[in-house]
Amino acid sequence: MRLLFLGLNYAPELTGIGKYSGEMMEWLATRGHDIRVITAPPYYPAWRVSEGYSSWKYSKEVSAAGIEIYRCPLWVPQRPTGIKRIFHLSSFALSSLPLMLAQVAWRPDLVLTVEPAFACAPVALVTARLCGAPAWLHIQDFEVDTAFDLGLLPAGGAVQRFAETCERFLRQRFSQFSTISQKMMERLPEKGVEASQTVFFPNWVNPEEIYPRVDPSPLREQLGIGPDQIVLLYSGNLGMKQGLEILPRLARRLGTRRDLHFVFCGDGAYRHQLNEAVQDCKNVSMLPLQPPDRLNDLLNIADIHLLPQKAGTANLVMPSKLTGMFASGRPIIATAAPNTQIADAVQGRGIAVPPGDVDALAQSAILLAENCALRQRLGGAARVFAEQELARDLVLLQFEGAIEGMFASTPVPGVPENSAL
């Protein structure tokens, strides 16, 4: 199959959508599919373009699996706000258009794009129409809903009505959809998507790369953490929608507990504020984003994983960091309301507390810190879930099968009859 992928975020970004998009395309390429990628230079989660890449130039590279990767210029704001994000996303949509149109002569069998960024949707649809190929939208985050629910854009007025109208118009023109959680699957029909057009496609983890260590993580000694101390870890994007402001409050609330130590690791728009908030907390260590070869050591430093989220987002997103948390065999404390997707995912593998409730968060932290057997039971269940439901090859084989099934079923209008997989 010739697959054309359009996505704002891609490898070598270490977290979030870029990580999963890169792994997905590399995996498909090793299965014999012919892949081309149109993307931006890596910039996330630091919100600055990585060394060795340019914000203003087009470039091409070829991956180890033979994927042709085309990088497009884009504008990256140092301090992203709602309006700045719109210009940021629009810059990539505009710069990617000529490269996408240039792929029409290649005649891809399928055009796949990812939300975020939904700004890529018109470019993907135009290219797919010109190629006579179906367009597939993979939803990692209901970006439009999240922007208004979190106050990144003004809610309830003409701006929201216009955005939702555009979103509905564009969604109706995709042939197939996939998303990463059951609650997000349930939301798609509310947006006018037929059930027959939807595929459940969760994020994954390689349980051979992320696994519970038998011996202590070497990072404990490097950070000066005692062998008897319980480590509560937050690792990932330090962004504005994660609800991270509760973390320094929690560290201060439990500051007298010398048996507890917090490690906050990552990069993003909120890093400076978080660092300022905990600089006088002796029970907190700050770490930069860790490279892939140290990820297992990092996740194994935890006795308890922390997963804060703002109220209202627990059904709009499914944090990609959850897969690694599960695979590490450690329990999770998440801030999520009952019956939301995040609360359901953590059930039996950790504890969910109301968003913003630092008292409930502190009580759950103490409960797990003082009960080793409970930590082992919940962490063991998390590991089994990762192995049986989220293993990389299992998930990606099912996704590949869904693609093949789409072509094997009723022909999609505009797809050439000789389109081959």
**pLDDT score, position 240:** 67
Q: What is the pLDDT of residues 331-371, one digit of tens each?
A: 999 999 898 889 999 999 999 999 999 999 999 999 999 99
Average pLDDT on 295-312 reads 93
The reported pTM is: 0.89
Q: Are the C-beta atoms of 333 and 364 separated by less than 8 Å?
A: yes
Residue 220 has pLDDT above 70, yes or no: yes
DSSP string, 299-351: HTT-SEEEE---TT-TTTB--TTHHHHHHTT--EEEE--TTSHHHHHHBTTEE
Residue bearing the bigger pLDDT, 313 or 412: 313
**pLDDT score, position 86:** 87
Q: Which amino acid is at 233?
A: L
Residues of the chain with CATH 3.40.50.2000: 2-204+391-408, 218-389
**pLDDT score, position 386:** 97
Average pLDDT on 393-419 reads 73
CATH number for the domain running over 218-389: 3.40.50.2000
Strands (DSSP E) contained in 57-98 are 59-62, 68-71
Q: What is the pLDDT of residues 252-281, one digit of tens each?
A: 999 999 999 999 999 988 899 999 999 999
**pLDDT score, position 298:** 97
Q: Are the C-beta atoms of 81 and 152 separated by less than 8 Å?
A: yes
Mean pLDDT of the chain: 91
Q: How confident is the model at residue 392 (pLDDT cuts 50, 70, 90)?
A: very high
**pLDDT score, position 159:** 83
Side by side, which strands form the sheet with 284-287?
Answer: 284-287, 260-267, 230-237, 304-307, 332-335, 350-353
The C-alpha R_g of the chain, in whole angstroms, comes to 22
Q: How confident is the model at residue 409 (pLDDT cuts 50, 70, 90)?
A: low
Residue 198 has pLDDT above 90, yes or no: yes
d(CA 203, CA 358): 29
**pLDDT score, position 313:** 66
Identify the CATH class of 2-204+391-408: alpha beta
Q: Which two tokens stand for residue 92?
A: 């990539």
By 3-state DSSP, what share of the chain in percent is helix, strand and coil, each rounded to 5?
A: 45, 20, 40
Residue 91 has pLDDT above 90, yes or no: yes
Percent of the chain with pLDDT over 70: 95
Q: What is the pLDDT of residues 4-55, one digit of tens each?
A: 999 999 999 998 899 999 999 999 999 999 999 999 999 998 899 999 999 9
- Give the HSE-up count for residue 358: Cα atoms under 13 Å, Cβ half-sphere: 12
d(CA 371, CA 376): 9
d(CA 141, CA 405): 25
